[in-house]
Structure 1
């Protein structure tokens, strides 16, 4: 009796605690919308996409000039450099050609301001490398989109599990009411001397079992609510979410097919394009490069004086005829990488097609299971009704009645689990057949 009282009080405490906790209704679509904005995995994928974008813009140097500004202070007694300083400062006089001064110029200073520019004109390997970086940026953009789709599936899965937790609690609460009524009826029969003490004890044991299961069901509501909160990227403040009732959500997903425009498949296609661009870039490395350069300088014998300007401009053509097989090996490596990526794409498509077909079969199996469970619930309910009538007339044992009631509760739970499995499978099929 003491153990029964403890279990009963624990059930009451859980029920009151859920009512006392802040609770608010949330729909599946709202949960998905919050998760897409706040989920950590989504944020990480967006950061990867931004990193790829920054890496792509590094290749702007293929077209944009590089400009460097510098200020240099020099002092020397080297005859050659000292005379060069005079030339740069445009201050050479006839006296500077005195052999004694040329040989022993003393300490000479030069303060130079330089502006240098390098302008790329034609670098075919870098142009294709830029195209490869652009394709790589698109890879991460599609990966980010696929991550959002996966989080949407996980949220809908967690939402369905929370619905199941509430459904299980409702079924157990109704079962507890029925078993308590049976216990009360059996206790009355015992007081009248119509049944034995063992019947009363069996009924009490069944009450204890259901109260224990109900306690776990209450905890499962908290656990499922916390899981949904985590997926939505919100702080866990012990809020309990109220959700829609669990019901079968039939759609047209079973008629969908695998699309080559699905985000992850598009990401692999772009990865193949990126490796193909790297192959072309390695091939273009055998061609000459053409670049322009120029500099503008100011030279003076005193610090922070800016006189005597000069400039230098030119065009450079360079052609690496032989690089010790380095370029050839890079080209081979890029080709193998492209072939590997193509194989990964083909294998991924095949595996996803198999997964899609399997999920369709799983969905059909779940529907069959739901149909069977609905019939089982009706049959179990009818069996309980018949045994309850016979028990009141003293024609059925208490054990048979309790078994019939337990069977009905079990079939209801199995039906709810089948509906949950169907909804999750349908959400997964939607995830597999997404298109962008």
Structure 2
């Protein structure tokens, strides 16, 4: 790898980790990881949307309370007619029929007759097994959104941990590049002094200047990445006015303590429980559709007040009864609903099984990734030590005239590359550990 390729590699290390956002001048604010997570759990829009979905599902479930509770309605009706049958019926409802009302001429030509009636109607379901199982399905659907809301909190917490770690890396990259820039400028100054004495070629000075320019460019990108990562973290925390960028200062990037975390997959994980509840809901809907073949029994009642004058409430009457209805054939509608519900249940069962299998694979893969990253970090630490020693030896040889300027610049670039590689490995390890916690969290 030549010197130019190494410099390009250094620049690539400090870009591409966060989504670019608009950046403006801002005041830095120190933020701890736990503080960021707590703010996000409280304010994040996705979590609030999940909570609203849960409340909607709960409200939908309580709509099924109508299965056990009566429906009561109150009405007031004003009628007028000259129809002989209806007119005589009004008299009966008003309990005002007299002998003169049976006069054939009056019966046939009653004239305009009014009736003003107030009524209270009650309907009460007694037996409806289809609605009972539909209520059970609604209850399971309520549980689905409860578990989804819980998982959303866990997921947003992970996203905050990930964004915070990326911001830590951005600061670490800036620190490494700042130190590198100081060293490279010293090399450049030394090469210029040697050139003025006629000890080195003009190309050596130009190579040193190229490396200074490259490190300065990478350092500028590192500064932008700090602002970008801060904006991304602020978005997760729903930190306020989007037109104003908030720059956050983090704790230093260090490898997360290697505590034992059980890599075992658990069926009690929130997202898995949501899938299981959705499957239970689909099973209940199958039973609900099947129960529509059975008869339904409902009670009903009505209490009425009728009078020939408006806003008079006399001459009461009531009507009460029980209704049994049984739809023997519905044009294959019920049969098709049962088949559709069965297919939905089978589809959901396969989706749950597939989700569980993929989750188990992800848990196992993450455990192996952590092992690999532990090895990578140890190798990078060793490489940094070797790069330090190589730079020291090359610098001494350069002072004695036994190494070229290109050799010295290459050693310096190699050290920066290994330092950034170590920081990146630590960042990836920490993010992977947070992801493992997400995969193995049981709520």
Q: TM-score normalized by structure 1?
A: 0.93
Match of 1:282 among 280, 283, 289: 289
Two-structure CA RMSD over aligned residues (Å): 1.5
Distance in 2, Cα, partners of 1:69 & 1:255: 62
Superposition map of 1:128-277 within 5 A: 128-235=133-240, 236=242, 237-252=244-259, 255-277=262-284
CA contact (8 A) 2:305 2:316 kept: yes
Shift of 1:227: 0.7
Which 4+ runs in 1 deviate beyond 4 A? Answer: none
Match of 2:396 among 355, 376, 389: 389
Shift of 1:25: 0.9
Partner of 2:15 in structure 1?
none
Partner of 2:410 in structure 1?
403
For residues 332-378 of structure 1, what are the alpha-carbon distances to aligned partners after superposition, in whole Å with 9 as ceiling and x for unaligned?
Answer: 22122112111111111001111111111111111111111111100
Q: Secondary structure at the match of 1:144?
A: helix
Match of 2:87 among 76, 79, 82: 82
Partner of 1:307 in structure 2?
314
Q: 1:19 to 1:71 in 2, by over 3 A?
A: closer
Q: Secondary structure at the match of 1:33?
A: helix
Shift of 1:208: 1.1
Shift of 1:19: 12
Distance in 1, Cα, partners of 2:364 & 2:142: 32
Distance in 2, Cα, partners of 1:296 & 1:290: 21
Partner of 1:12 in structure 2?
none
Shift of 1:321: 2.3
For residues 22-53 of structure 1, what are the alpha-carbon distances to aligned partners after superposition, in whole Å with 9 as ceiling and x for unaligned?
Answer: 11111111111111122121122111111111
Partner of 1:50 in structure 2?
55
Shift of 1:327: 1.9
Shift of 1:211: 0.7
Distance in 1, Cα, partners of 2:118 & 2:130: 34
Range 242-251 or range 280-289, more displaced? 280-289
Shift of 1:254: 5.0
Distance in 1, Cα, partners of 2:260 & 2:337: 46
CA contact (8 A) 2:263 2:367 kept: no
Q: Is 1:32 matched with 2:45?
A: no
Range 211-220 or range 190-199, more displaced? 190-199
How many aligned positions are there?
419
Shift of 1:205: 1.7
Structure 2: segments with no counterpart, 5+ residues: 1-22
CA contact (8 A) 2:363 2:439 kept: yes
Partner of 1:9 in structure 2?
none
Distance in 1, Cα, partners of 2:326 & 2:204: 100
Q: 1:20 to 1:284 in 2, by over 3 A?
A: closer
Partner of 1:353 in structure 2?
360
Q: Secondary structure at the match of 1:115?
A: strand
CA contact (8 A) 2:263 2:364 kept: no
Q: Is 1:434 matched with 2:441?
A: yes
CA contact (8 A) 1:49 1:137 kept: yes
Structure 1: segments with no counterpart, 5+ residues: 1-17
Q: Secondary structure at the match of 1:255?
A: coil
Partner of 1:11 in structure 2?
none
Shift of 1:253: 5.5
